[in-house]
């Protein structure tokens, strides 16, 4: 990745600084989710908030899914390659670990998660992190269902190493 010029200061940003900014941008997204969740929960209750936020995040996933639709309903290898290539700076962000890829489906474990790290750094309880990973994970459900595949979320739970696990399957009619 080439160094980027910072026009305001005339300095050049290093690859390490760009990576740090990427991770911080993902963490900022997490903190927006968390702030919205807390505010809306105080107004309309946690269950209704969770439902609305998951629905909105899922809809964003549907939009993302269009880029992967060419692999539906069953090009699992193509989907795997395209999805893994889509993750920005994977080792620094979600560190996806491919567990399996066959005609039967794809299983990927996200070994790290800047969103979960941000919630932890903000003082979120385990219960809050469970809720927030469910909400944030709705983007994956929308992405893969929007692309024409079946998807089962397996979001983070206390005591689990890593974070979410993605289970993508060919969609059957």
Here the CATH number for the domain that contains residue 37 is 3.30.1380.20
User: pLDDT tier at 18 (50, 70, 90 boundaries)?
Assistant: very high
How many structural domains are present in the chain? Answer: 1
Query: Does 58 map to a domain?
Result: yes
Q: How do residues 130-173 score in pLDDT, each as one tens digit?
A: 999 999 999 999 999 999 999 998 999 999 999 999 999 999 87
In this prediction the pTM is 0.90
Q: What is the mean pLDDT of residues 61-90?
A: 97
Which of 3-7, 76-80, 118-122 is least confident? 3-7
Query: Does 135 map to a domain?
Result: yes
Residue 152 forms beta bridges with which residues? 167
Helix then strand then coil, in percent of the chain rounded to 5, is 55, 20, 25
Q: Which residues contact 154 (CB under 8 A, 6 or more apart)?
A: 164, 165, 166, 167
Which of 12-16, 35-39, 104-108, 133-137 is least confident? 12-16
Question: How confident is the model at residue 11, as a pLDDT?
Answer: 76
Query: Does 166 map to a domain?
Result: yes
The SS3 assignment for 83 reads helix
Question: How confident is the model at residue 10, as a pLDDT?
Answer: 63
Query: Does 4 map to a domain?
Result: no
Query: Does 16 map to a domain?
Result: yes
Question: How confident is the model at residue 166, as a pLDDT?
Answer: 98
Q: Which residues contact 140 (CB under 8 A, 6 or more apart)?
A: 61, 151, 153, 164, 166
Domain range enclosing 97: 11-170
The residue assigned the tokens 């941008």 is 25
Dihedral sign of CA atoms 14, 85, 115, 67 in order? positive
Token readout for 43 is: 């107004």
């Amino acid at each position: 990745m080439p160094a980027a010029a910072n026009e305001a200061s005339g300095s050049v940003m290093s690859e390490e600084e760009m990576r740090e900014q990427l991770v911080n941008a993902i963490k900022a997204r997490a903190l927006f989710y968390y702030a919205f969740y807390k505010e809306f929960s105080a107004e309309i209750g946690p269950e209704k908030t969770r439902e609305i936020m998951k629905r909105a995040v899922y809809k964003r996933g549907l939009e993302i899914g269009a880029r992967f639709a060419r692999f539906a309903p069953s090009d699992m290898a193509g989907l795997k390659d395209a999805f893994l290539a889509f993750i920005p700076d994977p080792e620094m962000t979600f560190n996806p670990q491919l567990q399996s890829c066959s005609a039967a489906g794809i299983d990927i474990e996200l070994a790290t998660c800047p969103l979960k790290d941000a919630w932890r750094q903000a003082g979120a309880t385990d219960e809050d992190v469970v809720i927030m990973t469910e909400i944030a994970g709705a983007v994956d459900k929308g992405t893969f269902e929007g692309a024409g595949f079946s998807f089962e979320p397996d979001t983070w739970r206390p005591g689990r190493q890593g974070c979410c696990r993605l289970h993508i399957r060919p969609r059957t009619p």
